[in-house]
Amino acid sequence: MKRLIRSFGFAINGLKYATATQLNFRIHLVAGIVVLAMGLAFHISASEWQWILLSITLVLVTELLNTAIETLTDLVSPTYNTKAGHVKDISAGAVVIAAVFALITGLIIFLPKLILLLPHAA
Ligand SMILES: Nc1ncnc2c1ncn2[C@@H]1O[C@H](COP(=O)(O)OP(=O)(O)OP(=O)(O)O)[C@@H](O)[C@H]1O
């Protein structure tokens, strides 16, 4: 049990490090909170919540893995190296794919609800 709590503490340290050092992670965290608030405001359905939570999780997890890969790359290859550049670019590409997925999901769920709020939509 003590070991489990210790491991959890290390994981929390990782989250703190990513939040403190990565602007993109902070931006995605805030975007996730805004989307959660929108979900509450629009009373979205259980299946819509599942898509939203999956999207937020996917973006934050890829951001964290990207940060870990960037940090490891800097450690292994502090000077310029073409392969190190590819590793970072590929890792950043994974974040972009997750973010596009999240954006499209958000548009599918919230755009019709936002359009209904427009004055002429009634
Ligand atoms: N050691 C390196 N060798 C070759 N190219 C590199 C190296 N480090 C970075 N690059 C190139 O510069 C880009 C930006 O690298 P950087 O480490 O600044 O990532 P970043 O996404 O800007 O990081 P951060 O999230 O910290 O702002 C990489 O995607 C890669 O193309």
pLDDT band at 120 (very low <50, low <70, confident <90, very high): confident
Which of 20, 102, 21 is closest to 61 using CA atoms?
Answer: 102
- Catalytic entry in 32, 63, 67, 91: 63
Write out pLDDT tens, residues 4-51: 899 999 999 999 999 999 999 999 999 999 999 999 999 999 999 999
**Residue 40 CB coordination number (10 Å):** 10
pTM value is 0.91
Which residue type sits at 118? L
- In the residue annotation, 63 being an active-site residue is answered as yes
Which of 112, 96, 1 is closest to 121 using CA atoms?
Answer: 112
ipTM: 0.90
CB of 69 sitting under 6 A from ligand 1 = no
Looking at ligand 1, which atom is closest to the CA of residue 78? 1
CB 122 within 8 A of CB 75: no
CB of 80 sitting under 6 A from ligand 1 = yes
Domains of the chain: 2-121 (1.10.287.3610)
Q: How far is the CA of 1 from the centre of ligand 1 (A)?
A: 39
How far apart, in whole angstroms, are the C-alpha atoms of residue 78 and residue 74? 5
Decide if pLDDT at 122 tops 70.
no
